[in-house]
Structure 1
Amino acid sequence: MNGQDLKSLALELGFSTARICRADEAWSAGERLAEYVADGHHGSMAWMEETLERRQHPTAMWADAKSAVVVGLNYGPEQDPLPLLERRSEGVVSVYAQNADYHDLLKKRLKHLARAFAEKTGKQVKVFVDTAPLMEKPLAEKAGVGWQGKHTNLVSREFGSWLFLGVMLTEAELEPDEAERDTCGSCRACLDICPTRAFPSPYRIDARRCISYLTIEHKGVIAEEFRKPMGNRIYGCDDCLAVCPWNKFAQTSVETAFHPRPELKGPLLAELAALDDAAFRQVFTASPVKRIGRDRFVRNVMIAVGNSGDPALLATVEAGLEDASALVRGMAVWALAQLDPGRARTRAERDAEAEGDEAVRAEWRAVSRSGDQTVSY
């Protein structure tokens, strides 16, 4: 089986694109990653630092790797997700997480592809889908699948910014495809739309300011400066992806597994905030959302409630103030201060004294210090 046969098989298996590059050539991506970690832009994702040496080059993962087969799977949404940000009483879940976990689907197909190649050629193979310390995006650019845009994500001429990536490394020496060139030009749309200014410069992201990082990876209290910019984003953020001009060439994904579940098409914040642990697990079975756990998820929902401007959600806030999770209670305090500052100040001293968690007490003290500031919507 040669490289062309391998790419044809990948398309038959349902991948949207497949390209090949050398895995053993020198590249600068490893140096850029080391600088990124040295600057602390990875935030609390300690695993990036712990696996840095293995991440810096594909052969650090597997010394015998000669070629990389990079596959992409289109998950282009049916509609532009940005208008959902105006529906403030509803929560917005990132497009990629509105249904099945893509890791499972990609890995199943990649293993099928790898097994067929190994059986035909006798060559060893290894497959990777996101969770392993392998830099897929630089490999995808090198293979010609797309290029890393100014938002650091992959951009494709055919699929815009909506591609899941997987990689098969092999000891076989396959004919490489031509690398893709950066075609972002002078466009700054992805940088300028970022609500938290997470891009210190083009092609560089500070994860500590990224809403995707804050709502998914960050385990503690979300700093106050990021709460209002979060709006009603409760899991991830698609702004920099959705605004990319190359999306005009993207097609809606044919994978029904990535079409939004009905309950995640504009889910009401009040309903999401009311989820206990069992209900959360049931709603998000087989979903990427499940991995952050109920408490962090409802923490995000409470921030969205505070940003909703909807007095009807005050009952939701009151319930959050009694939640067993300090993360939820703390954000409920903030939400109350946004929706009803007067009531929040009235309760602050009493509730701070009764609160057993220091982080939540700090939220009540912040309400007390707010004085006569008013909130506008």
Structure 2
Amino acid sequence: MSRSRPSLGTLLKHVHRSGPMSRAALARHMGVNRSTIMALTRELAAAGLLEHQPAAARSGAGRPSLLVRPRPERAHVLAFDIGTDRPVAARVGLGGQLLDRREADTPTHPSSRDMRDVLAELSQQIQQSATPGSACVGAGAALGAEPTTIGADLQRLLGRPVAVGRRAQLAAVAERERGAGAGFRDVVYLQGGDRVDGGIVVDGANLGRHDGQTPAIGHMLVDPQHGRPCSCGSLGCLDTKLGRDALLAAAGRDPEVGHRDAVLAMVRDAAAGDETAAEALAIAGDWLGIAIANLITLVRPQVVILDGTLRYLYAGAAEQVHARIAHHSTPDTRRQTDLRPGILGQNAALLGAAELGFAAFLDDPLHITAASA
């Protein structure tokens, strides 16, 4: 049986990431025959990880084929999103199904001790709500860009390893696997907020590691001669043009007032005829287009996903964005790339953290399920 476990993991990964699949489709994807697929699905079904369901009714002779689907309630991971004002914890089941989600109100800048107390309470709540017989097979956490000990604190709280990664990169993973980038191999994800961050997927693999050694998209130079100083020590980085405070200052607005939704309000005011907001939005659209043109030239992605405040900016300044892309990239590269908003919303980083938690389990599902039961 041990020799078949890599194939068990491969099959479970397909179903976990793609949802219900026919045995014929699994055989094609894995390059094995139907009898092998039947044996593997039977073994995973016996462990409670998969089940068969009838496909939609079809006309013609013969029985309708069966679909293989994951059982989310049988195996789950604990996922945490800690890089926001309100820490979030969740149980995410096999197949990426969000089984339980809890959000806590915290001070804007909580102490480490306050954060540990919040995480302890959230962890207890989501674990108590688990279905009897459901195995916790891993844990993952999405952290902000700043160094923190929260990952280590979580490991002590849970008594198990916790895989950690940067929020934007994990959101990129989730959007590529379950969101706006599903089905594509080359994806760029851009997220706006206090700073600009993101993730890059090339040929289905993340560019960079989850431990912080990732592309610093916010520090891409776009205006080195005339730009303002950046926190990194350079001049004219993308952060200085499209970070939240920079956007609001350009529109003559106080960044401290209505901070969370202030960029969205600026975009709405521009559409309603506010000339100052409209001018600031158009200029921001220029800088976003220049940045995307650079990434298109470098990576040649099939999709660029815009999220956070950049989603609002693109909605209000799409004309400027596309004009800059057309001006600064070659026709063959820009024709390959589609721009679209993210669709997972506030759960993007959380679902990406869950994928970190599932990684070891999907490599050896029967061993880890048995150990966690």
**What is the TM-score of this pair, normalised by structure 1?**
0.24
Choose between structure 1 and 2: higher strand proportion. Answer: 2
TM-score, structure 2 as length reference: 0.25
